[in-house]
Structure 1
């Protein structure tokens, strides 16, 4: 009942009960944790000196200050006492949680427990040549992704170092100059470097492909192979299944009629379709007929044999693809060859000689064999697990559906370790969707300040980054060649080379304010930086003149010069970006810069994206925004400004002296002609010739 409930009575002060010991311990631990979290991201940055304020003041209208080398501390800096952590500025905005998420990505390696078999021999078990017209860019990207797992080029294959090599055989001529299609095509060449342009007069035919492989690929690139897989651009091939069957030596292992490759002559075979009734007529249906006959897998011995008998085959069967004609030829002469060898040799020796003289034909369209090279019937249900080739797949959506339907497993063409110091063993960048939770247990601070040059054999991963976006007809003639100049440099020093265009093209769709296309540079930097330790950005119109000058050496020299200033700070903990201000420029030149993967750098790029006042503010655009943002405390202390420096890594043509690293051709008008002149000069330097400013101005 209600009257039985106890009533509240105030009987004066009562003796407080002592808190539980467990409660006290929990409260103390909570307080320590809160203090730790609040102080975790406090950056230890120096307060700007008066000289620093003048140097970085973007609004100052005073005459240009005398050149200040980063290697020479001023008298004021020499007299200034070293600052400890308690004296550092506390007014710096801490890195956002977004940037902290990237701090552990400075070493984006794949599973280091993996011990891959690195192929550096130039010999590949499988050589895949895919016929493709220049306009088939979307299909090529699907093939890269579905066949080889190459979704984008942020972690590029600098060298194919597994047992498989692929290339696109571009036939039918190139797109017309000064067209959107031509610019898109050139961008793709810069980004992937996996396309071989064939003279327009050469059709995609088995004879032409095999002759090119044997006479050009072997001679120019020193590439040899066991199995040649030829596929046209409108077919789908179960590449992983094909590779498995070839590696096992049993074709059609799980079918009712398997074929075992011989142990003595395992490369003397042709696997495909050989229906001679579907001749290669020169009619309006030529492409259709060719598509039905060009897909084939051939051993290197049989390929050489086919070339040696090409004239005879063409004379007897002028309307047939080379290997179909070869099939018909040996059908007509094999009985004679067998009779001759049986009569002249012992049975065992005769059998071996017949295997050497007569290639095996594994037919996928005959009554005695399986039917695993099929035509697309416009539904995936008609494709079976054992099928190898599906021909005449014209829609990209159908190609993608076939990949999913068949559970196609990508075949690795490289280990994607292409970014590592030349002085250290290779390291393995993380795949785009690899789980990062099992990575190193180092803290964010340890990661962002770690000196990888002394990390027990783990050199810094470096990417050479540039634009592959061609705005108009101006740079169309020289853009690809300029990218190849940078790619060659990356290969020379075992760096990654990354060229990007999509981020530039997307600037018209960046929110409610349309940005100038050059802002794509910032998008590219944000995308690539988390995958590497350092990114070396070069504009399209920058040319590397000294291919032997490594970034490793450059960073070590800048580090040594920085330490000579005796300013109390370490290069590896303080400097996250290196950029120059040329002698006659009002601000930095961001056409060439080095940026380190740290929380500060990621936050800096995030803040830069918000500088909307510069989106359409020419002529500086993103460069002006970067210069303005660098004035803020917490930013300028992180940048090594090569002030009034025309030679370290960003030289204009008129200032060039022999030995300069990079020349930046940035005239007011179209830079194409100037870039071509610079590229020609760079080639002459590689040949040992001496170049002066007069040769490139």
Structure 2
């Protein structure tokens, strides 16, 4: 019998050594998730804060699949998650068969199945969290305070001048929510069979109109509270309130239709990034040296 030694490729040995070294170094800091260091590009990046305060378990969910001029600005604003003790879950690829924006439903469904969260906040990437003092949990509690059966409300949605806007919404992490996504997908499938394109937002509008049970599980939040638009994008809900300094979230939805130039969203991000209220960094980081 001939004995053969098995040699690992040098590149594999180097990668394993690098992962071991980085894992050791970063494991000494409680603020860097070592599991994300050597993850494949298709994996989500989840940034969790240890020692979170008691209360509802929250994850902020988003994805970005291209490189934009405003990536750093958008991500820096979402450091809000660290300050409030929420998780931030980001995908860098999407594989939705029905269209790119359907991936949000795939992500939310996947997170619901983990049983790690009570509420999930979907937030489009072309957004700035402009006031990190405001707690999402407070908005949820205030919204449900006057509802007869708050445990039966699964969706906190916002509108703009065109109706439903799904660029920022909150969903209860419950199996009922995944059924809604399946029902919306079924609506899209029926339209696709007719040769019609139907977005995830169009499908939700139809579902909310035609299905009373789903409609009863939703509540509309004033746009300025959860999905405010700047003055350059004058498409507001019934409250007719433009974003003002101190408001929670700023969304540059459809900037291409309202702002001239080759990079409309980047232009608005640059204009408003100085308005972000970040809070004291010493409250978010525990220095170890």
Query: Alpha-carbon deviation of 1:601?
Result: 0.7
CA pair 667-680 structure 1, distance change in 2 beyond 3 A: farther
Q: Report the CA distance shift for 1:650/1:556 in structure 2 as closer, same or farther (over 3 A).
A: same
1:638 and 2:221 are equivalent in the alignment: no
- Asked if 1:647 corresponds to 2:224, the answer is yes
Is 1:656 paired with 2:243? yes
* Residue 491 in structure 1 maps to residue 82 in structure 2: yes
Q: Secondary structure at the match of 1:580?
A: strand
Distance in 2, matches of 1:656 and 1:638, equals: 28
Classify the secondary structure of the residue corresponding to 2:253.
coil
Q: 1:601: which partner in 2?
A: 177
| 1:422-470 residue CA offsets vs partner (Å, 9 max, x unmatched) | 3x2xxxxxxxxxxxxxxxxxxxxxxxxxxxxxxxxxx211001111222
- Of residues 136, 142, 167, the one that matches 1:591 is 167
Q: Is the 8 A contact 2:208 2:214 kept in 1?
A: yes
Asked if the contact 2:230/2:250 (under 8 Å) is kept, the reply is yes
The C-alpha deviation readout for 1:171-225, integer Å capped at 9, x for no partner, is xxxxxxxxxxxxx98x98x9368xxxxxxxxxxxxxxxxxxxxxxxxxxxxxxxx
Q: Distance in 1 between the 2:224 and 2:245 partners?
A: 10
Distance 1:518 1:614 in 2: 17
The 2-side partners of 1:479 and 1:627 are apart by 30
| Runs of 5+ consecutive residues of structure 1 not aligned to the other structure | 1-135, 149-156, 169-183, 194-415, 425-458, 564-568, 689-697
Go from structure 1 to structure 2 and tell me whether the alpha carbon gap of 1:653 and 1:617 turns closer, same or farther (over 3 Å shift): farther
- How much has 1:419 moved relative to structure 2? 8.8
> What RMSD in Å do the two structures reach over aligned CA positions?
3.8
Match for 1:623 among 198, 201, 213?
201
Q: 1:501 to 1:593 in 2, by over 3 A?
A: same
SS of residue matched to 1:635? helix
Taking the TM superposition and a 5 Å limit, the aligned residue runs for 1:49-64 are none
Contact 2:119 2:172 survives alignment (8 Å): yes
- The reply on whether 1:524 has 2:107 as its aligned counterpart is yes
Pair 1:191 & 2:60 matched: no
CA contact (8 A) 1:577 1:596 kept: yes
- Contact persistence 2:77–2:278 (CA under 8 A): no
1:647 positional shift: 1.2
CA distance in 2, matches of 1:542, 1:606: 27
Seen in structure 2, the aligned counterparts of structure 1 residues 493 and 652 have a Cα distance that, compared at 3 Å, is same
Say which of 53, 57, 61 aligns to 1:465: 61
Contact 2:122 2:169 in 1 (8 A): yes
In the superposition, relative to structure 1, how do residues 491 and 608 fare at CA in structure 2: closer, same or farther (>3 Å)? same
Q: How far is 1:613 from its partner?
A: 4.9
Q: 3-state SS of the aligned residue for 1:588?
A: strand
Distance 2:121 2:213 in 1: 22
Deviation at 1:657, TM superposition (A): 2.0
Contact 1:541–1:664 (Cα < 8 Å) also in 2:
yes
Alpha-carbon distance between aligned partners in 1 of 2:173 and 2:153, rounded to the nearest angstrom: 11
Gaps of 5+ in 2: 1-11, 232-241, 257-263, 281-289
User: 1:646 Cα deviation (Å)?
Assistant: 2.9
Per-residue CA shift, 1:391-414, capped at 9, x if unaligned?
Answer: xxxxxxxxxxxxxxxxxxxxxxxx
In 1, Cα distance between the equivalents of 2:229 and 2:208?
23
Map 1:128-527 → 2, pairs under 5 A: 143=19, 160-161=29-30, 191=45, 418=50, 420=52, 422=53, 424=54, 459-470=55-66, 476-486=68-78, 488-502=79-93, 504=94, 506-507=95-96, 510=97, 515-527=98-110
Cα distance change on mapping 1:165 and 1:599 into 2, 3 Å: closer
1:576 to 154, 157, 163: 154
Determine helix, strand or coil for the equivalent of 2:224: coil
Q: Secondary structure at the match of 1:634?
A: helix
Q: Secondary structure at the match of 2:213?
A: coil
CA distance in 1 between counterparts of 2:128 and 2:80 reads 10
Deviation (angstroms), 1:667: 2.5
Q: Does 1:676 align with 2:270?
A: yes
Gap change, CA 1:522 and 1:651, over 3 Å in 2? same
Aligned to 2:287: none
Is contact 1:647–1:656 with CA below 8 Å preserved after alignment? yes
Contact 1:466 / 1:483 at 8 angstroms: preserved in 2?
Answer: no
**Is the 2:127–2:250 contact (alpha carbons within 8 Å) kept by the matching residues of 1?**
yes
In structure 1, the residue corresponding to 2:143 is in which secondary structure? helix
After superposing on structure 2, the runs of 4+ consecutive aligned residues of structure 1 that deviate more than 4 Å are 164-168, 416-420, 613-618
Counting matched residue pairs gives: 239
Of structures 1 and 2, the larger Rg is shown by 1
Q: 1:167 to 1:627 in 2, by over 3 A?
A: closer
Cα deviation, residue 549, structure 1: 0.4
